[in-house]
Structure 1
């Protein structure tokens, strides 16, 4: 298994999670990532979509809400990186949810790490 790596993008310390790590599938997994991020003084956790459990994308399961609440509570930012189009295609609620979270500053769904770099780049 590859390990998570700490990178700095535009003065933001980002814990970039390895694609083959444990699934982000609930509160316990969220707390593990948050603990790792805090231990490395990261401000943002970037999780590849391959590590996000399918239940997360089924909003009725409550997994996304539980995971996101932990990140908000511990003041950690979360970014899911990768193609989520197959999940969004089947759910208007999920599409609206992704749009809403991407409008804020705490939780984002972005297609690539380049998009994350662009999102963190200071304006001007």
Structure 2
């Protein structure tokens, strides 16, 4: 496994090369995925800086509204990522969410191939490889 760190202001991208694949682990101290436009901007930035279309984001890098399915933000963002063939793993603790709809959504995503909700970086890497 080979890694490279790219710092872009408040965003830090860890470019991970593993088994012939490249994955970008994006970290930020504040939410960077706040709306559809920021999601598209993130795709463009990561692609330009790393050429990666497999992304890992910490849950804290995403606004809380994403996890309230009534806002439709999650669906809109995910649709853009699927359209641009970008796969995403979100790392964090999701046990605090009590919404049955969100739990069902997470379950379905984790059985798909484009979006994963995982507990740690290692699980994210396994899913994206």
TM-score category by the smaller chain? 0.7 to 0.9
Of 34, 40, 45, the residue aligned with 2:43 is 34
1:94-114 per-position Cα deviation (integer Å, ceiling 9, x unaligned):
000001011011011111001
Matched pairs, number:
119
Structure 2: gaps (5+ residues): 1-9
* 3-state SS, counterpart of residue 18 of structure 1: strand
- Going from structure 1 to structure 2, the CA distance change for 1:44 and 1:21 (only over 3 Å counts) comes to farther
Matches of 2:78 and 2:11, distance apart in 1: 24
Task: Tell me what 2:112 maps to.
Answer: 104
Task: Tell me what 1:86 maps to.
Answer: 96
1:66 aligns with 2:76: yes
The CA RMSD measured in Å over matched residues stands at 1.6
TM-score (norm 2): 0.84
Structure 1: gaps (5+ residues): none
1:42-90 per-position Cα deviation (integer Å, ceiling 9, x unaligned):
0211110111111000001011011101101111111111112112xx1
Task: Tell me what 1:5 maps to.
Answer: 14
Shift of 1:120: 4.3
TM-score (norm 1): 0.87
Moved over 2 A (4+): 9-12, 117-121
CA contact (8 A) 1:45 1:76 kept: yes
Shift of 1:23: 2.6
* Structure with more of its chain in helix, by fraction: 1
